[in-house]
Structure 1
Amino acid sequence: MRVVFHAPLKPPEHPAPSGDREIARLLLRALEQAGIAAERPFALRMFDPRGDASLMRRLAAEARDAAGRFVEEAQSRPPAERPGAVLTYHVHYKAPDVFGPAVATALGLPYVVVEGSRAPKRAGGPWAVGHALAEAALDRADAVLIMNARDRPMLEAARPTAQRLIDFPPFLDAAAWPRLERPAATAAGRPRLLAVGMMRAGDKLASFRVLAEALATLDERPWTLDVAGDGPARPEVEAAFARFGDRVRLHGELDRAGLARLYAGADLLAWPAVNEAFGMAFLEAALFGCPALAGAYGGVAGVVDNGRTGVLTPPGDAAAFASALGSLLDAPGRLRALSVAARDQALGGRTLDAASARLRGALAEAGRAFAERAS
């Protein structure tokens, strides 16, 4: 089988690292693992961060033109070489999909969205054009694979007849990471904390500041903190942690090997996760037996199993985050139990093999939904 793959928010080859880019790359690997050939005829980024209607109209026109050219080329192929479905990753009002639905409709193919969200409150205002395009794409979808449980209620409320909504939990490719053993015990009784996040204004910077505030209440404890990540807000992050001196080490942007060493050496990934969709770092850390303390935003609860692979605190409650952090610092035995469960989860249903099987099933289900829609 062949599918057309599109990632309107951030193409897999985008130079800036992020969870979106990583998931797009993982989806391509999962398709390959499933024996499904993916072609990517269109890589334009359909992203409108500021609510610029003229920008979105221009991008939509480019996407429609590209879809027309691809349809003409695909129709000239022998039937066995034509795609059998269109698969798009991440559709919402700031990054709608115009290319995918146009291709699927013109070629008579099932259309599948991985991670789509509906936002009725954006129907008016600066993102009205992007909202309308995203809604049209989601209305056309034969199946929507839900990675973030927070998206389900709105998707259910507006679900067209025959459309399938399929749970599709975040996953990782364990084989792409180095195999490292965890140290036997915390060095000299000093819990090793870790934070991983891009340093940019907004939610990421807010998470760093909540973490710094929490650590300030635990200044008498013998913890250390490693921070992986970089970006334009680095000076603000440095200022937030300056009071702690050399107890906090900022490593900048790290490659996979460098991150693996930090994950394997940390006792706890402490990340407030302000407005996080779900957070790939939680799953990556779990692969190395590093449990997490996180704010229960969005789909974080779908990655961090509260009380089993980590601890979740109420979103936006900095005092609760600080209290939970203090409790975990005082309970090394609990941290070890969370560590074992976290690794078991990552190597269980969150593997590339599991995701590949889910993708095969979802594409088959989308085909049945497409047939129902057409009948």
Structure 2
Amino acid sequence: MKIAFTAPMKPLDHPVPSGDRTMGRLIVKALQSAGHDVRTASTFRSWRREGGNTIQGMVRAEALAEADRIAQEWRQDGYRPDLFLTYHLYHKAPDWIGPFLSGQFDLPYAIVEASRAPKREKGDWAFGFAAADVALKQADAVAALHHADAECLRAVVPGDRLTVLLPFLDAAAFQEVPEAARIGAMPPLRLLAVGMMRDGDKTRSYEVLAKALERIDDLPWHLTIIGDGPNKDRILSLFREARTTWLGTLPPDRLPEQYACHDLLVWPAIREAFGLVFLEAQASGTGVIAGDTFGVPDIVVNGETGLLSPEGDAAAFAANLQRVLDDPALADRMGRAARKHIAENHTLAAGAKRLDDLARCAIRNHSHRQEAELT
């Protein structure tokens, strides 16, 4: 089918890499691998750092002008997609383009990765919250990427239109290292943290990790950090230089080898939606020590492919680390289970199947709603 696509949170061609941009590109790649013709309708970005009626009202006007331009272009070209698909919708990144074009051309409308925070119904983000709700109510199918988001969406999205579409990745590059070629875990354990060094939740995750490692300073481990950003100096100062190797930012094709040569990925995941790094590490056969945040439990099997602790709890995080340090073979067992878990549940093929099901569900629901309006 022909699918028109947009990503109001972060367009696919945005110059700054992030998990959000990667996931958006994976969605398009998965749909194309399933035989669909995906066309980016717009690269308009509705996300803003600051809220307020004035700012969001201006964004809405710009978005509707863009939507009107696209509508004219489609009519001139004779283009009419079978579905309009929006990736990542919430109060800071409402979608006005998808609902407008779906209404103008009577198209099924679907949303992948939607979230809803009721506390934003009032205050600076009330305008964006209301706009996101309008899009959610119009959508013929809505997919959250984890169960925590799905629970918050139930207030506005009927059950027959709501699903959880578990995240996925193109696992091939991460699975190329043969399991038999991996070096078994032995002291000192090789720990790996992968995260950008920017303000907010990423820095808080590094802070929790540093506090956890302080608690097990007497045990044998070495930490490698991959990441860079404006908070680099402050973050690196949190860790003992003698026990830390900083690699900076690495290109994507260098990451598989790094996951594969470490025993554990360690990341507290403060306010993390789900964390692509957890998929990448597990695909590489590397177990995970992480925070039990939002969608992390949906992709890391606690006690099998990793060990999870309450979000922000440095003591509990350290206890999970010590559990593996006391039994290094546990890292190997989790790594083997992780590799199998990703191969069975989170590959590009699995994502393509889930997205294809979502698209067809949106088309069915749209048809049923049309029939209901006629009766």
Give the one of 241, 246, 251 matched to 1:250.
Answer: 246
Alpha-carbon deviations, 1:169-203, whole Å to 9, x = none? 1100123557224532236x210000011111111
* Residue 185 of structure 1: aligned partner: 184
State whether residues 197 and 231 of structure 2, in contact with CA within 8 Å, keep that contact through their aligned partners in structure 1: yes
- Secondary structure at the aligned position of 1:269 is classed as strand
In structure 1, give the amino acid aligned to 2:345. G
* Residue 2 of structure 1: aligned partner: 2
Query: Which whole-Å CA distance do the structure 2 matches of 1:267 and 1:168 have between them?
Result: 29
State whether residues 80 and 105 of structure 2, in contact with CA within 8 Å, keep that contact through their aligned partners in structure 1: no
Are residues 1:333 and 2:329 paired? yes
Give the one of 176, 200, 219 matched to 2:217.
Answer: 219
State whether residues 33 and 356 of structure 1, in contact with CA within 8 Å, keep that contact through their aligned partners in structure 2: yes
* Residue 344 of structure 1: aligned partner: 340
In structure 2, give the amino acid aligned to 1:45. R
* Residue 31 of structure 2: aligned partner: 31
Query: Which whole-Å CA distance do the structure 1 matches of 2:20 and 2:152 have between them?
Result: 21
* Residue 127 of structure 1: aligned partner: 125
Query: Which whole-Å CA distance do the structure 2 matches of 1:186 and 1:301 have between them?
Result: 24
Query: Which whole-Å CA distance do the structure 2 matches of 1:355 and 1:257 have between them?
Result: 21
How far did residue 53 of structure 1 move? 3.1
* Residue 323 of structure 1: aligned partner: 319
How far did residue 210 of structure 1 move? 0.7
Deviates more, 1:53-62 or 1:132-141: 53-62
* Residue 157 of structure 1: aligned partner: 155
* Residue 206 of structure 2: aligned partner: 208
How far did residue 85 of structure 1 move? 0.5
* Residue 231 of structure 2: aligned partner: 233
Query: Which whole-Å CA distance do the structure 1 matches of 2:345 and 2:12 have between them?
Result: 24
* Residue 296 of structure 1: aligned partner: 292
- Secondary structure at the aligned position of 2:136 is classed as helix
State whether residues 178 and 257 of structure 1, in contact with CA within 8 Å, keep that contact through their aligned partners in structure 2: no
In structure 2, give the amino acid aligned to 1:118. R
Query: Which whole-Å CA distance do the structure 2 matches of 1:251 and 1:107 have between them?
Result: 50
Alpha-carbon deviations, 1:95-134, whole Å to 9, x = none? 1111111111111011100011122211111111111111
Query: Which whole-Å CA distance do the structure 2 matches of 1:256 and 1:120 have between them?
Result: 36
Are residues 1:15 and 2:12 paired? no
In structure 2, give the amino acid aligned to 1:88. T
User: For the aligned residues, what is the CA RMSD?
Assistant: 1.5
**Count of residue pairs brought into register by the alignment:** 369
State whether residues 292 and 310 of structure 1, in contact with CA within 8 Å, keep that contact through their aligned partners in structure 2: yes
Query: Which whole-Å CA distance do the structure 2 matches of 1:277 and 1:348 have between them?
Result: 21
* Residue 102 of structure 1: aligned partner: 100
State whether residues 112 and 363 of structure 1, in contact with CA within 8 Å, keep that contact through their aligned partners in structure 2: yes
Which residues in structure 2 correspond to 1:73-112 (within 5 Å)?
Answer: 73-78=73-78, 81-112=79-110
Alpha-carbon deviations, 1:70-112, whole Å to 9, x = none? 222223444xx52111001110001111111111111101110
- Secondary structure at the aligned position of 2:289 is classed as strand
Query: Which whole-Å CA distance do the structure 2 matches of 1:349 and 1:111 have between them?
Result: 26
Instruction: Give the gaps of 5 or more residues in structure 2.
Output: none
Query: Which whole-Å CA distance do the structure 1 matches of 2:77 and 2:128 have between them?
Result: 33
Alpha-carbon deviations, 1:291-338, whole Å to 9, x = none? 101110111101111011101111222111111111111111211111
State whether residues 88 and 113 of structure 1, in contact with CA within 8 Å, keep that contact through their aligned partners in structure 2: yes
State whether residues 175 and 284 of structure 2, in contact with CA within 8 Å, keep that contact through their aligned partners in structure 1: no
* Residue 118 of structure 1: aligned partner: 116
In structure 2, give the amino acid aligned to 1:99. I
In structure 1, give the amino acid aligned to 2:74. A
How far did residue 41 of structure 1 move? 2.6
Instruction: Give the gaps of 5 or more residues in structure 1.
Output: none
* CA shift in 2, pair 1:18/1:326, >3 Å: same
Alpha-carbon deviations, 1:254-273, whole Å to 9, x = none? 11222112100110111111
- Secondary structure at the aligned position of 1:348 is classed as helix
- Secondary structure at the aligned position of 1:259 is classed as helix
State whether residues 141 and 163 of structure 1, in contact with CA within 8 Å, keep that contact through their aligned partners in structure 2: no
* CA shift in 2, pair 1:177/1:326, >3 Å: closer
Query: Which whole-Å CA distance do the structure 2 matches of 1:184 and 1:151 have between them?
Result: 38
- Secondary structure at the aligned position of 2:237 is classed as helix
